[in-house]
Chain A
Amino acid sequence: SQQGEEDPQALSIQEGENATMNCSYKTSINNLQWYRQNSGRGLVHLILIRSNEREKHSGRLRVTLDTSKKSSSLLITASRAADTASYFCATDANGTASKLTFGTGTRLQVTL
């Protein structure tokens, strides 16, 4: 079963704009991760934020975490066509260190 849900399910923006994706989850966690998946490929790890962190940056990525609302957001600034992909959040539901539970994903389309 899916632990989280991403919102929106699909997002279409123009190159240069910012893209914001949200993730909600159901149980307590130790950390939350974001992954990107290009069509027909495996997932690529983007960033990990721990439950005691509220915000984290990596290049053009900014992730926030609100454990009281059980939600996270991923912001991609100054988007590029190469950012076109599906984005998934993943949590170690209930702190189970051995597996990640993925959300349903947001499909991002960046057009020129």
Chain B
Amino acid sequence: GAGVSQSPRYKVAKRGQDVALRCDPISGHVSLFWYQQALGQGPEFLTYFQNEAQLDKSGLPSDRFFAERPEGSVSTLKIQRTQQEDSAVYLCASSLGTGAEKLFFGSGTQLSVL
């Protein structure tokens, strides 16, 4: 596709539910990143993939958060047993090379946990 695609655009979950957020990066992009953005704040790093390898997951807030990119393309961010503090916009980004230079972002998934 022409850009990074994320789905769903909006997700409402009841507290305790599991959610899965999908990211389709730009074809051929080696690096894929997940960020969390709270209202009125800058994005905060969650995790980084180089092809299918998850090289940095230092930003994942708890073991309820899990990300995968099994074939080095599409990625899924899964949040188990959602809590209200998980409410945020989850942004996916990809870049052509192996570093975090010139990231291309998707429009994000806005997660609301009630």
- Are chains A and B native binding partners rather than an unrelated pairing? yes
Contact assessment for A31 and B108 in the assembled complex, using a CB-CB cutoff below 8 Å: no
Q: Do residues A42 and B45 form an inter-chain contact, with CB atoms below 8 A?
A: no
> Residues on B close to A: CB < 8 A?
4, 31, 33, 35, 41-45, 48, 50, 55-56, 59, 91, 93, 98-108
Are A31 and B42 in contact (CB-based, < 8 A)?
no
Q: Tell me if A's interface is mostly helix, strand, loop or mixed.
A: loop
Contact mask A41-55 → B, CB, 8 Å, 1/0? 111110010000000
A38 to chain B, nearest CB (A): 10
A99 in complex: contacting residue of B45, B106, B107, CB < 8 Å: B45
Do B102 and A43 touch (CB < 8 A)? no
B33 contacts across to A, CB distance below 8 A = 99-100
> B99 contacts A102, CB within 8 Å?
no
Minimum distance in angstroms from A7 CB to a CB of chain B? 13
Q: What size tier do the contact residues of chain A reach?
A: 20 to 34
Contact A98 B104 (CB under 8 A): no
Pick from A2, A43, A104 the residue with the most CB of B within 10 Å. Answer: A43
State which of B31, B48, B105 has its C-beta within 8 Å of the C-beta of A44.
Answer: B105
Q: Give Cα A91 to B99, complex, Å.
A: 12
Q: Which 3 A-B pairs have the closest CB atoms?
A: A42-B105, A102-B42, A97-B99
Which residues of A line the B interface, CB within 8 A?
1-2, 31, 33, 35, 40-45, 48, 88, 90, 92, 96-105
Pairwise interchain contact A100-B102, C-beta atoms closer than 8 A? no
Closest CB in chain A relative to B61 CB, distance in Å: 12
Given A2-B42, A105-B42: A100 and B100 interface contact (C-beta under 8 Å): yes
Cβ of A104: which chain B residues have Cβ within 8 Å of it?
41-42
Q: CA separation between A35 and B100, bound complex, in Å?
A: 13
Considering the complex, give the chain A residue whose CB is closest to the CB of B6.
Answer: A42
13 interchain pairs, CB-CB under 8 A: A1-B44, A31-B101, A33-B102, A42-B4, A43-B91, A44-B105, A48-B102, A98-B48, A98-B56, A98-B100, A99-B48, A100-B45, A104-B42
